[in-house]
A and B are shown apart, each in its own frame.
Chain A
Amino acid sequence: MLIDLFLTFFMIGLLSFGGGYAMIPLIQEEVLYRHRWMDASQLSDIVAVAGMSPGPIATNIAVAVGYQQAGTVGAIVSSLAMILPSLALILLAGKLFFRYRDNELIKSSFFGLRPTVAGMIVYAAIVFAQNSGITARMTWFAWSQLLIFAGSLFALIFLRKHPFYVVVLSGLVGIAVYG
């Protein structure tokens, strides 16, 4: 288990170009489909708590998943595994940076990576959307989910509210509507 945790999060840490949310599709693939460590609802809850808490969302998720699987030791293993590639690459990049920063090849690959990552994140949203019932048949529940989704998105984009407040407000709405 610990070895699985380590290898999985090492790989995720190695491939997370584009920031924390870019890791989520990778995490979904590994945690939900390959290892089946939990179901989509539980992962979604972890993402919510991780997004509310200080610190990078990706490492927060690693801590939570590791903890759920193997207690505190698991949390340490998974988060260290995720950080290790960054550490190694920074130590390497520190020496190489000024030589390769304006390298055309590197910049070209990022030109392609950025939209790919955007697509990956869209896919991650779709996975969680299907899980939460937003895309289900036209039941009252599906409509309420859709409304909550739309309201949250509005709050984030146009009202520019911090995720912490949006999640807390959503929780209160949930208690009122579903409680």
Chain B
Amino acid sequence: MNAKRKLLGSIFLTFLKMGPFTFGGGYALIPVIEREIVEKRKWLHSNDVADIVAVSGSVPGAVAVNSATFIGYRLAGTGGAVAALLGIFLPTFVLMIGLSLMYIHLKDNPKIEAAFLSIRATVVALIAYAAIKIAKTAIVDFSTGALAAIAVGLLLSGYVHPVWLIAFGALSGIAVVKVRALLGKKTKIDEEEPVYDYMI
């Protein structure tokens, strides 16, 4: 019983220490995970990490959070998953609350207002950049390009909630692959190596 407690504690602390490194975004966490968990503590092998990242990218949610949760689960079941989750999430939670407080107090300051007028245009660029990166591996042929365009169109129409769009996307993918198969054409559905950088 005590040994389990100690394990949960060290899982929590290990992921807590990784806090500052989540600055790079989900995939930037991987080298840190390799260093702390594979090399230092020898809790896992390198191969395991690759598999875990693959699952974490497929499950909804942030890669960083998912990876931590999965590793925690592998090490110590549900308790480990929760310990890892709390460890990696707590610092960002506290920091964000602090920043929100600062924003609320400062936002009526004219200089801050002016700054954010410019930042709003930059936010559009951030989002556009994210779209471009996902589009690079997502749009591989005419069908995927058309799908993306249809998605934009449906959303602009104002009639479709994104929830339905996601269902539509998944079903369309299945339909396109099946129809192509019927026509005798094979579709390349394996995803390319994800772009390991800071935004996702």
Contact = CB atoms under 8 A, between A and B. Distances in A.
B115 A175 contact: yes
Interface of B: 19-23, 25-26, 51, 54-66, 69-70, 73-74, 78, 81-82, 85, 89, 91-93, 95-97, 99-101, 103-104, 107, 110-111, 113-132, 134-135, 137-139, 144-145, 147-152, 155-156, 161-163, 165-166, 168-178, 187, 189-191, 198-200
Given A20-B200, A110-B191, A119-B149, A170 B122 contact: yes
12 contacts: A13-B61, A19-B62, A20-B200, A21-B130, A56-B62, A86-B59, A112-B175, A114-B191, A163-B199, A166-B125, A175-B111, A175-B115
B115 A172 contact: yes
Contacts of A128: 120, 123-124, 127
Say whether chain B's binding surface is mostly helix, strand, loop, or mixed.
Answer: helix
A112 B116 contact: no
A38 B23 CA distance: 27
A21 B110 contact: no
Contacts of A7: none
Interface residues of A, number: 103
B130 to A, nearest CB: 4
A114 B144 contact: yes
